[in-house]
Structure 1
Amino acid sequence: MTESPEAEGIRLQKVLANAGVASRRVSEQLIVEGRVRVNGVVVTELGSRIDPAVDLVDVDGTAIQLDQSKRYVMLNKPTGVVSSMNDDRGRPDLRRFTKEWAERLYNVGRLDADTSGLLVLTNDGELAHVLAHPSFGVTKVYIAKVDGRVTPQTIARLTKGVDLEDGPIAADKARLLSSSDAGGGSLVELTLHSGRNRIVRRMMAEVGHPVVELVRRQFGPLHLGGLPAGRARELTTVERGALLTLARQAGVPSGEQETE
């Protein structure tokens, strides 16, 4: 009997194999072991069929990407590049980093021209909204090189909260990485889920330590790792699964995107 996606759906083990989870034989074992869920329900029957365009599948609680038209890319944005696919002022933009992908990709949120680091590019609008909207609480981790000698008291102030012109704000976490008595400045790690414009720079200026250099090292479950500045790569299967799991766990309200 031929498998007909329109009439009967596709065997679950074949869907898993096509998605790159494992070989078909290993996928069958995952199903038998009760490690696969379809629409939140554990499926253990090897004859089960699904519609990849409609059904949601996860393995060991991690979402599986079935829609192969969606593309997910990590970029280490260098300084001097604006977070736009077509800058109307003629400044260097993100188009140069997306030429190898046929899909029309968009940046998730923004990093200002003077900030480098992790930027996500995708054609998955729903996932982009979950990642960018501050109401979902997706955290971003920044390393800031700042003027002056930062003290533990200043770190405590950042987590307790500071008052800015658009209201109070507190870091989810703050950590002093290094501090120099010889005028070399300090390195501070800040974790935030805020979506406010240039929030790290404004927070550090408020506590008397203006930012000299700023890089975003982490965005939700994604880590920049050793990706060189100016380089882009597709997310791994594990990274895609982590992002899709986030999206499935969240509702999707309308609202703004973040800018730093």
Structure 2
Amino acid sequence: MATKGSDGRSGAAGRRRRSAFTPPRTVRLRDDQGARVAPAADEQGADGDLHREDGERLQKVLARAGFGSRRACETLISTGRVAVDGATVREQGVRIDAGTQVVHVDGRRLQLDTAKRTVVLHKPRHVVSAMSDPEGRRDLTEFSSRFPERLYHVGRLDYETEGLLLLTNDGELAHRLTHPSFLVEKTYVCRFDAPGGPPRSLVRALRDGVELGDGPARADSARVLAQDGREAVVEVTLHEGRNRIVRRMFASQGFELTTLVRTRIGPVLLGDLGAGETRELSGRELGTLMAEVGL
């Protein structure tokens, strides 16, 4: 388990863990109903619409958000890569209210509210996806207590499943990530006993769809990662979030999973984060994730 730094965060001596995130070339933008939309039009709004006389210069806001020096941020603005409240800004000197206005860079939303925090947790096995458990089992407060904010889990992983779980105090982000209309993909690595190797029909059945007790379920993609004649490892990606859906899909084909690990939620990867360790989302990770759910 990661040790806490002086600021209460995990990592050796408070060292920030390197992100495994690779930004996609194209950000999937969605509106607040989950429908895909085109990027904002390349038009600058009138100063009266965007400019706040008592606000902060836009390039200073960008620099504070980690986009380099102010000169580099001025270049971002002049090349039309920055939008405020949906309108592209090209002129220098625009002042904004970072607390109320929405800023995107290359289609990715900037989280300028410093009171909000979103964290990746590698949930270990035998931990309940809850903030308390009446049976006294390990729960998520063990990990959320590392941060000063009161964080809550986004969705769940069952008691036997480990892997990527998001903790956040951003209620709107959490709601959209769990709402089925936004179709946020999740990837799982599944290990199971398969003497002689998994049948070819298994992957095909997962892709084509299987019948479960609460309706059909279909993987967006499935592929065999490894097999040795005794066990097999299959990677499955799907956007549904029904209870124990991955385990039940394999069970419908006669296979009981011995290990199940979630490795991805949308653009966020588990990477080399160890079981029980946490890290904060990078600005690009968070911005891309927010853009996918229409924020």
Match of 1:106 among 142, 152, 167: 152
Determine the structure 2 residue equivalent to 1:258. Answer: none
CA offset at residue 127 of structure 1?
0.7
Are 1:152 and 2:200 an aligned pair? yes
CA offset at residue 248 of structure 1?
2.4
Match of 1:59 among 84, 101, 105: 105
Match of 1:177 among 214, 219, 225: 225
Determine the structure 1 residue equivalent to 2:57. Answer: 11
Structure 1, unpaired ranges of 5+: 250-260
Determine the structure 2 residue equivalent to 1:253. Answer: none
Match of 1:168 among 209, 216, 227: 216
Are 1:97 and 2:136 an aligned pair? no
Are 1:81 and 2:122 an aligned pair? no
Determine the structure 2 residue equivalent to 1:40. Answer: 86
CA offset at residue 6 of structure 1?
8.1
CA offset at residue 40 of structure 1?
1.6
Q: Is the 8 A contact 2:85 2:103 kept in 1?
A: yes
Which digits, 9 at most, give the CA deviation of each residue in 1:56-85, with x for residues without a partner?
A: 111122211111111010011100111111
Q: Is the 8 A contact 1:107 1:122 kept in 2?
A: yes
Are 1:247 and 2:293 an aligned pair? yes
CA offset at residue 15 of structure 1?
1.3
Determine the structure 2 residue equivalent to 1:195. Answer: 241
Structure 1 stretch displaced more, 145-154 or 121-130 = 145-154
Q: Is the 8 A contact 1:74 1:233 kept in 2?
A: yes
Are 1:232 and 2:278 an aligned pair? yes
Structure 1 stretch displaced more, 47-56 or 6-15 = 6-15
Residue identity over aligned pairs, in percent, reads: 51
Q: Is the 8 A contact 2:52 2:96 kept in 1?
A: no
CA offset at residue 7 of structure 1?
5.7
* Total equivalences in the alignment: 243
3-state SS in 1 of match to 2:174: helix
Q: Is the 8 A contact 1:150 1:209 kept in 2?
A: no
Determine the structure 2 residue equivalent to 1:255. Answer: none
Q: Is the 8 A contact 1:141 1:189 kept in 2?
A: yes
CA offset at residue 135 of structure 1?
2.1
Distance 1:40 1:152 in 2: 48
Cα distance change of structure 1 residues 33 and 6 upon mapping to structure 2, 3 Å threshold: closer
CA offset at residue 22 of structure 1?
2.1
TM-score (norm 2): 0.79
3-state SS in 2 of match to 1:142: strand
Structure 2, unpaired ranges of 5+: 1-50
Q: Is the 8 A contact 2:191 2:257 kept in 1?
A: yes
Distance 2:72 2:52 in 1: 26
Are 1:205 and 2:251 an aligned pair? yes
Letter in 1 for 2:228: S
Q: Is the 8 A contact 2:52 2:95 kept in 1?
A: no
| Displaced runs of 4 or more, over 4 A | none
RMSD over aligned Cα, in angstroms?
1.6
CA offset at residue 18 of structure 1?
2.0
Q: Is the 8 A contact 2:53 2:95 kept in 1?
A: no
TM-score (norm 1): 0.89
